Amino acid sequence: MLLMQLGSADSGSASQRAGQFQPGGLRVEWAHETRRRCSRLLAGASLVAAALLAGCGDGRWQRLDGATMGTTWRVQAHCPAPLAPAFISAELERIDAAMSHWREDSEISRFNATQVGTWVTLSPALATVLRASLTLSAQSEGAFDVTVGALANAWGFGPSPSGVPAPAEALTAAREQVGFHRLELVGDRLRKTGDVHIDLSAIAKGYAVDALAHALGQRGCNDYLVEIGGEVRARGERRRGGPWRVAIEQPSAATRAPHRVLALADAAIATSGDYRNIIERDGARLSHILDPLQGAPVGDGLASVSVVHESAMWADGYATLIMALGKERGLAFAVERQLPAYLLMRTQAGLRGEATAPMQALLAPRGPT
């Protein structure tokens, strides 16, 4: 799920910019002069890969970044008081400890290890994400399935990625372990009625973005952009005024360039694509986006899907859901639910983009392709 934030007038001229593409697809451009003036503030920072830029220019504008969930996070915010990087780190650690299937001690991993029929009381965060995941699973009739964990592992995309799919019989067996209807959620209590393995990769980062946005709002930050691994939520205006501008990325593993630009205010956007996190099998490139109903990676020419929603969690989930449905069924799903969605498809003539009516209203005039 990859997006880029576009540079703007407040980033300085092209000759001043240190712009480089950051992990996760978000482009942040830093002025050399700002870096020089603030370098002393960064000396001795204790949080790995984090930088607090309070006091640079408008002292209430702050920029922080770091690592989480195997990717990066970034915050730009206008706040009445300095933000401590530690509070963001603690919030992300809480979510990771609940939802990461890459951690054996996480809450979701402990649930996956329980016996069939055992009731488990979930934390409020995990209950929220599971409830949304089950809703998406039902809406898509299983094209999005929160119990896809065993299948993802078998295809080589799990916590110990081998990059090599399992033999055909193992793939068939893993497909039999997929079925969201084998989960029963009552309030905050969850049990499995069959042997299934939950994987929250398609929605957890979006939830984390929402959690950080909520935390910033509680601290009086009225203008901000939060990004985790390419999932973005924005509120208010950027530093020099006007809505935040983000770009849907060209679906290429080799380069990162903007495809279409849109304004984002008081909303979130997430992108799901088939062009990163891939493996090769018999000369074919296979995406990590799986179609649980077919038991295999998607592959109908749909390159990426971007969805705008008031919640990053729902934008994240819907983008993956539409990818899993494929270009025809996915577009029909988005149109039926009036989702602002942009689908990029590969054709013999090149890339073709198609936007739903709500997304058309958000897109800027045609940009570079």
pLDDT in tens, 133-185: 999 999 999 999 999 998 888 877 777 655 667 778 888 898 899 999 999 99
> Taking a C-beta distance cutoff of 8 angstroms, is the pair 342, 321 a contact?
no
227 or 294, which is more confident:
227
Six-digit token string for 153: 């592992």
Amino acid symbol at 294: Q
pLDDT of residue 22: 33
79: left (phi over 0), alpha (psi -120 to 50) or beta: beta
| Residue partners of 281: CB distance under 8 A and separation at least 6 | 164, 165
| Per-residue confidence (pLDDT) for residue 61, from 0 to 100 | 94
**What percentage of residues in the chain have a pLDDT greater than 90?**
56
Q: Which two tokens stand for residue 80?
A: 């009445």
Where is mean pLDDT largest: 25-29, 296-300, 346-350, 359-363? 359-363
Residue with tokens 């916590």: 159
Residues 6+ apart with CB under 8 A from 36: none
Q: Are 358 and 338 in contact (CB under 8 A)?
A: yes
Residue with tokens 């009625």: 193
Instruction: Report the alpha-carbon distance of residue 36 to residue 45 in Å, rounded.
Output: 16
Mean pLDDT, residues 77-103: 93
SS3 assignment, position 91: helix
Give the fold, CATH level 3, of 110-192: T-fold (1.10.3980)
29 vs 159: which has the higher pLDDT: 159
In which band, very low, low, confident or very high, does the pLDDT at 24 lie, cut at 50, 70 and 90?
very low
Tokens of 181: 């209807």
- pLDDT: is 92 or 7 the higher one? 92
Residue 29 tokens, joined: 């451009």
Mean pLDDT of all residues belonging to the chain: 81
Residue 91 CA to its chain's centroid (Å): 17
Q: What is the mean pLDDT of residues 98-106?
A: 93
Edge-first strand listing for the sheet containing 223-228:
61-68, 71-78, 223-228, 231-235, 267-273, 302-309, 341-347, 350-355
> Looking at the predicted structure, is the pLDDT value of residue 121 above 70?
yes
